[in-house]
Structure 1
Amino acid sequence: MAAVQATQDTWRVFGASVTGKAHLDNNIACQDAHAYAEVNGVLVAIVCDGAGSARLSEQGAQFVAKQSVLALAGRLEQGASVQDLHDGALAGTLAQVRAALDDIASAANATLDDYATTVVGVVMGADNGFFFHLGDGLSVAQLPDGGELISLPANGEYANETYFISGERWREQLRLLAIPHAVRGVVLMSDGCMPFAMSKNNGALYAPFMDAVQGYLRTVDSVELGNTALASTLADPRTHQITGDDKTLLLAMRP
């Protein structure tokens, strides 16, 4: 999904969502989605991973990603600060998006659970920001000193269980993680990318993969070319030997 909007070139953002082997083999569409916007130097980006067990999760992921970014960007344009979003406007925005999705479900004679999706996102200004996270997936802030701040996935009692915005207790399961410093870059990913984009136990980005990807993206002439290359990398048949899941990777870098 391309940028929802961009008002200033403080960030260079690349993203791709590709269908995993399990879905390719069964002719099922990609249930991942991503979206991003930039408003006066503040980045808003989201990755959503639709539940495999939910029959309309592809639509849920696309709706939640796009509409959440549009709504958050709108609040920033109206004068909200990064801190305002952290202190309540983010949760309020997600509640509005969830209510709108519930209306869509009712009109389609479906349930909100039919559109179940996780959410992992970031709001990042020049000097501070925060991750917001509901369910699995993972996000990383790359700090100027070479360190990394990681928002890890949250699962339920069982390994294959996670949390969705459609859940009744979604507010309790929504996590915010402050990013108190400027960053070199931000990486968001669905859980399908974690086996090859993260090191063991999700302790850090897996440098042999991520350094090569980010190094190349810094050299491309256009975001479109970079997005195409990123999608090709994620769709490489060699990744099918690692995971059969859909894969989304979004990288935002300071120029």
Structure 2
Amino acid sequence: MNLDYDYADLLMKGVDYKQCDDYTLVAKKENLIIAVVNDGAGSRQHSYLGAEYLAKAAKKVIFAQPELVNQAKDEKDDIDPLISNIHKTWCRKIAFAIDNLEDKEGVFATTFNLLVLNLDTNLGFSFQLGDGYQIRLNSASKINSAADKQTGGITKLLPGHNGEFANTTLFLNLRKRLAEVQKRTFSLEENLGFIIGSDGLDGLLMNQNKVDQNNLVYLMNQFLNNDLQKLIPKLKIFIRHERSQGHYGDDVGAVFIIRNFTNSEEEEDNNEN
């Protein structure tokens, strides 16, 4: 089957923050879709730039050298060429953009949360360092509970984890952290959609249980029952309401990717003819 996907991103600044340290990016080139949600460590001077430039570096490298994606390995303690090239491009972007850059470890600290879909091979590639998360929705399953993230076909591809300084995880000049990037390869065939998020979305929507409505169920039902052009505004309204009640006020960054069955079936019919 020739798969096709629709996608959109959501980015909202936290209640008490001067600037948004999350950064989202989703783009498609030929048969590759990339989604990035990075979270800069707000206590660091240029972390918001670190998050943005790292996302743009990933896009530049992957679209220029797509063969590196297929060479990614799942082995631990191994820096594959894709991650190494993204890191080098990130460093060049920062050095070019900032005059009189001081060599201070952590000043651009950010998490790294990348998903790549290869529609030619029907494979997905996941990369993560930090406390962001990725979830996928199994097309054959029903949504039941957020208490068990495996229930109802909702699977956390990668567990979130904290770095040495809260969500400060990837430093400009700390190459040893590159070996800690978690990598996964998986088939796209059984997946209806994906959500890539920062800890802000996780804290706001996924960890709060209500008496009659679980927030994960709410989020997923909004995801499945609305096209993405309607979903994003509805989620923004929901987030504003939650914040007005004094709930979680962190930056919120997320990318939503959902299977487009109409386009997939039409393309398959055209190929058969």
Q: State the TM-score bracket (shorter-chain normalisation).
A: 0.7 to 0.9
CA distance in structure 2 between the partners assigned to 1:226 and 1:250 by the alignment: 12
CA distance in structure 2 between the partners assigned to 1:161 and 1:32 by the alignment: 12
Corresponding position: 1:185 with 2:193: yes
Aligned residues: 232
Match of 1:170 among 155, 177, 180: 177
TM-score, with normalisation over the residues of structure 1? 0.78
Give the alignment of 1:205-220 within 5 angstroms: 206-218=215-227
Shift of 1:82: 4.2
**1:217–1:154 distance in 2 versus 1, CA, 3 Å:** same
TM-score, with normalisation over the residues of structure 2? 0.73
CA distance in structure 1 between the partners assigned to 2:107 and 2:97 by the alignment: 8
Q: Give the corresponding residue for 1:75.
A: 65
Match of 1:115 among 108, 118, 131: 108
**1:176–1:69 distance in 2 versus 1, CA, 3 Å:** same
Q: Unpaired runs of 5+ in structure 1?
A: 1-7
Give the alignment of 1:106-255 within 5 angstroms: 107-110=99-102, 111=104, 113-126=106-119, 127-146=122-141, 147-150=153-156, 151-156=158-163, 160=166, 162-166=168-172, 168=174, 169-182=176-189, 183-198=191-206, 206-218=215-227, 223=229, 226-234=231-239, 236-239=240-243, 241-255=246-260
Structure 1 runs of 4+ with >6 Å offset: none
Identity of aligned residues (%): 20
CA distance in structure 1 between the partners assigned to 2:69 and 2:215 by the alignment: 29
CA distance in structure 2 between the partners assigned to 1:161 and 1:190 by the alignment: 10
Shift of 1:231: 3.8
Taking only aligned residues, the RMSD between alpha carbons, in angstroms, comes to 2.9
SS at match of 2:4: coil
**What do the CA deviations read for 1:136-163 (whole angstroms, capped 9, x no partner)?**
11011222333233111121467x3541
Q: Give the corresponding residue for 1:20.
A: 14
SS at match of 1:107: coil
The amino acid of 1:58's aligned partner reads Y
Shift of 1:237: 3.9
Larger Cα-atom Rg: 2
Q: Unpaired runs of 5+ in structure 2?
A: 75-79, 142-152, 209-213, 261-273
